Amino acid sequence: MTVTRLDVQTMTAYCLARPGAWADDPWGHEHPVIKVGPAGRGKIFAFLSADSVGVKCGAGRDLADEWLHRFPGEATVLPHLGRGGWNALRFGGAIADEELLEAVDESYRLVVGGLPARARPPGWDG
């Protein structure tokens, strides 16, 4: 059996498979951000780059800091959003693919849970 490590393409596909998820490129970067919610008013739940995914790792910095302690150098505070519990988690290193996928799912759950009920996508089961 061949095991494929996560990369930006597989992570993009995984994020877009979440109910109501859509890609946006508000800053003209090489890789999109993934949002959920109504077009034009959606909220980001994943920032993609060539070697990492930026996700909300907890409601605040305390929970997000657990990633930094468990994976020094593999998990870093996401610039400009770190105080809100956002970290960048690197692909292909010490963080298992399953944990990366779980982190995306948690970020999605936290972001969708913060949307008004009318803006939550059908199929979301918080």
Q: Is residue 117 part of a domain?
A: no
Domain count, the chain: 1
Domain that holds residue 19: 8-112
CATH of the domain at 45: 3.90.1150.30
Q: Is residue 119 part of a domain?
A: no
Nearest to 86 by CA among 73, 95, 98, 76: 76
CA 78 to chain centre: 11
Residue 55's CB is within 10 A of a number of other CB atoms, namely 30
Per-residue pLDDT of the chain (126 residues; tens, 9 = 90+): 344 589 999 999 999 999 999 999 887 788 999 999 998 889 999 999 999 999 999 888 888 999 999 999 999 999 877 678 999 999 988 999 999 999 999 999 999 999 999 999 988 776
